Amino acid sequence: MSQPPERPVLLPILALALIGLAALPAGQTLHAQPPAVRQAAADVPSPTSLAELKVLNEHVKALVAKVRPAVVQVSGGSGVVISADGLVMSAAHVGGHAGRPVTFVFPDGRRVRGVTLGNDKLGDAGLMRITDRGDWPHVAVAKPEDIRLGEWCVVLSYPVSFDLQQRHLAVRLGRVYHHCPMDVSSDCTIMGGDSGGPLFDMEGRVIGISSTCGNSLLENRHVSVDRFQQYWDRLLKGEDMDELEPGQGAVFGVESDADVDEARLSGVVPDGPAAKAGVKAGDVVLKFAGAQIRTFQDLAAEVRKYKPGEKVEVELHRGEQILRVSVTLGKADAK
């Protein structure tokens, strides 16, 4: 079926991204080994019997009943309480900026007061806190290495509906089909109002926070817990982080038109670190400092982990060849 003309699927946007401007101090990840982008084989295969599906059915019902008390409405979006003293994970575009007073509404209708903490504008991770005193219902947060491709997952949040008096807590079922340091993507369909709401794994742990969706029902992006971990201390301190923080980060010096399903470079900044190492426009980046790269976004996420002056090995695909070059990363404000 065709889409209504109000909403073109394609927009004439030329996304020209410049890697490295958004780099942040390294060393904040809680795990020693940065998670590589995983996309090869499903870690969790599809069920092979009806009995398995029936077990899943009972499991999901019980899980939903268990985690739902911790899922809150906030600021036109959603959030999830992750500690007894009221720390809330949400999306940066729901929180807006740090220090803003907000009201949380629990599924039982209870309204409590709180405040926004830090917001990561690029990744869309945001934290908030309930300021009223209480022992709040809360859920556990998964570690990045717990996220498995093909795993069943559940979105539980407050999408808009035709009922304008109140938003209802709705369940959506799906599976994780993509995971990188920035995102988890699933076929748990999300829409307006779900922003900031949790994506749970089958252990009832938060593995992502709903952020954006595409026109396809399969295209649902959640901020991965990796991203939260990476900026945890700064988010907790109430820092608002914008993508451009000149002078702080490492620069690779490459560009992409973001129109292909791989990290193909459309341009190389003249005399930049990549150019000096012999990287050329048209090259496809396969690995950056040992981490597998699927998309330009993955590459950007990896570059952000390093400091200016650090030397990294980069694996490239050029024509029929696989090349390895050594790049000394530059400084963002030094061009």
Partner 1 sequence: MNKTIALILTLTLSLGVFAQSLLAQPPDGLRRQTRRAVPRPSGYLKNNDQIKSLLKPTVAAAAAATVRVFGDNQAVALGTVVAADGLIVTKASQLTTKVECQLADGRRLPATVVGRDEATDLALLHVDARNLAPIVWATSPAAPGSLVAATGPGEGPSMIGAISDVPQPMPGPTRRGAQHGWLGIRVGPVGEGPEVQGVSPNSAAEKAGLKSGDQIKRLDGAEIHSADQLIETLSRLPPNKKVALVVDRKDKQLELEATLGRSPGHLPHDNWGGGPFSERRWGFAAVIPHDLAIAPTDCGGPLVDIDGRCLGVNIARALRVASYALPPSAVQETVEKIRARAKTP
Q: Enumerate residues 305-324 that contact partner 1 by CB under 8 A.
A: none
Q: How far is the CB of 4 from partner 1 (least distance, A)?
A: 7
Residues in region 161-180 near partner 1 by CB under 8 A = 161-164, 168-178, 180
Backbone angles phi, psi at 60, to 5 degrees: -65, -40
The backbone torsions φ and ψ at residue 287, rounded to the nearest 5 degrees and listed phi first, read -140, 145
| Residue written as token pair 């899980």 | 63
Determine the Cα–Cα distance for residues 117 and 126; give it in Å rounded to an integer.
7
* Binding-site member from 28, 31, 33, 61 for partner 1 (CB under 8 A): 61
Q: Is 84 in the site for partner 1 (CB under 8 A)?
A: no
Nearer to partner 1, 60 or 275 (CB): 60
Q: Indicate the residue among 49 and 321 with the shorter CB distance to partner 1.
A: 49
Q: Which two tokens stand for residue 198?
A: 């949790």
Measured torsion, CA atoms of residues 302, 308, 311, 313, in degrees rounded to the nearest 10: 30
The footprint of partner 1 on this chain (CB under 8 A) covers a number of residues equal to 96
**CA-to-CA distance for 133 and 124, rounded, in angstroms?**
27
Smallest distance from partner 1 to CB 213, Å:
6
230-289: contacts with partner 1 (CB under 8 A) = 257-261
- What does the buried/exposed string (b/e) look like for 264-288 if buried means 16 or more CB atoms within 10 Å of the residue's CB? bbbbbbeebbbbbbebeeebebbbb
Closest separation in Å from C-beta 109 to partner 1: 15
Q: Measured from the CB atom, is 3 or 321 closer to partner 1?
A: 3
Q: Under the criterion CB under 8 A, does residue 292 sit at the interface with partner 1?
A: no
Subset of residues 107 to 126 that bind partner 1, contact rule: CB under 8 A: 124
Residue 31 touches partner 1, criterion: CB under 8 A: no
Report the residue number, 179 or 331, with the smaller CB distance to partner 1. 179
- Distances in Å between the Cα of 54 and the Cα atoms of 48, 58, 61, 172, 316 are 11, 6, 11, 17, 46
Of the residues 24, 81, 87, 94, which one makes contact with partner 1 according to CB under 8 A: 94
Q: Which two tokens stand for residue 27?
A: 């060393």
Give the 3-state secondary structure of residue 39. coil
Which position among 54, 110, 113, 335 is part of the footprint of partner 1 (CB under 8 A)?
A: 54
Selected binder of partner 1 within 128, 291, 297, 303 (CB under 8 A): 297
> Does position 75 bind partner 1 by CB under 8 A?
yes
Structure token pair of residue 26: 């390294």
Report the residue number, 53 or 84, with the smaller CB distance to partner 1.
Answer: 53
Window 180 to 239, contacts with partner 1 (CB under 8 A): 180, 183, 185, 187, 189-196, 210-219, 221
Residue 195 or 230: the one with the smaller Cβ distance to partner 1 is 195
CA angle 217, 221, 224 (to 5 degrees): 150
Q: Give Rg (Cα) of the chain.
A: 21
